[in-house]
Amino acid sequence: MPVIHSRRSLLQLSAGAVAIILATLAFARFVHEPTAPPQKIAAQSPAPTLNCVFYDLTHANIVVSFDFAVAFPDGAPPRFDLRSQAMRDGNQVFDAGERPVWPYALDDDGAPAITSPDGAIRIVLFALEPSARGVAFVDAGLRSNEYRNLDGKCRQSDFGDSGHASAFRVPTGDAAQK
């Protein structure tokens, strides 16, 4: 009987070895089988913004700040949608649901400027960089009877990422009226 027992053991051992080899080959094929390349998820650029802060004459205190969302309609100058206007004390100047659009144009000196809808406030953007990617800081001047002439800084974000730098070139003065 011992012969039968060892023969059965030998068959079981052989069957086990074959099963392990087949499992290893199947696993190796599965692991090394080429897969489709990973699809890149397109990162959506953040919407362009312009944030401006204007200081008192000593440059020690903020008098007023403006926060704009910038849109680039096809074939038209950029739109500056006022998201917030905050005074030194933190008070908002308009209701949260209201979003006045400030038109963009070049002023008489050829400097880029945006103007409030009623024309009472004008922000002159010295050395605006429409093609700048990411964040850029530009000097700005606030022209207004209410605030007088104040110096400040504007932080432009993601203008160049929008691919609409040419939209900032608009005619000035008489050429704009034709």
Q: Residues 10-31: what's their mean pLDDT? A: 70
- What is residue 177's predicted lDDT score, i.e. its pLDDT? 39
Q: Residues 15-21: what's their mean pLDDT? A: 73
- What is residue 99's predicted lDDT score, i.e. its pLDDT? 78
128, amino acid identity: L
Q: What are the residue ranges spanned by the domains of the chain? A: 1-34, 49-177
User: Mind listing the pLDDT tens digit for each residue in 110-133?
Assistant: 889 999 999 999 999 988 887 778
CATH number of 49-177: 2.40.128
Q: With a threshold of 0.85, does the pTM exceed it?
A: no
Q: Which residue has the higher pLDDT, 167 or 137?
A: 137
Q: List CB contacts of 96: < 8 A, sequence separation 6 or more.
A: none
User: Mind listing the pLDDT tens digit for each residue in 34-81?
Assistant: 566 656 655 566 788 999 999 998 888 999 999 999 988 888 888 899
User: Mind listing the pLDDT tens digit for each residue in 155-171?
Assistant: 998 877 656 655 565 54
SS3 49: strand
SS3 113: strand
User: Mind listing the pLDDT tens digit for each residue in 73-102?
Assistant: 888 888 899 998 888 887 777 666 677 899
Q: Residues 16-35: what's their mean pLDDT? A: 67
- What is residue 39's predicted lDDT score, i.e. its pLDDT? 63
- What is residue 32's predicted lDDT score, i.e. its pLDDT? 62
- What is residue 42's predicted lDDT score, i.e. its pLDDT? 56
- Greatest C-alpha distance within the chain: 115
Q: List CB contacts of 68: < 8 A, sequence separation 6 or more.
A: 49, 50, 51, 52, 80, 81, 82, 83, 102, 114
- What is residue 174's predicted lDDT score, i.e. its pLDDT? 43
| Two structure tokens written together for 89 | 């004390």
- What is residue 117's predicted lDDT score, i.e. its pLDDT? 92
Four-CA torsion 130, 131, 132, 135, nearest 10 degrees: 50
- What is residue 8's predicted lDDT score, i.e. its pLDDT? 73
152: burial class by Cβ within 10 Å (0-12, 13-18, 19+)? Answer: buried
- What is residue 140's predicted lDDT score, i.e. its pLDDT? 95
Phi, psi torsion values for 172, nearest 5 degrees: -110, 165
**What does DSSP assign to residue 162?**
G
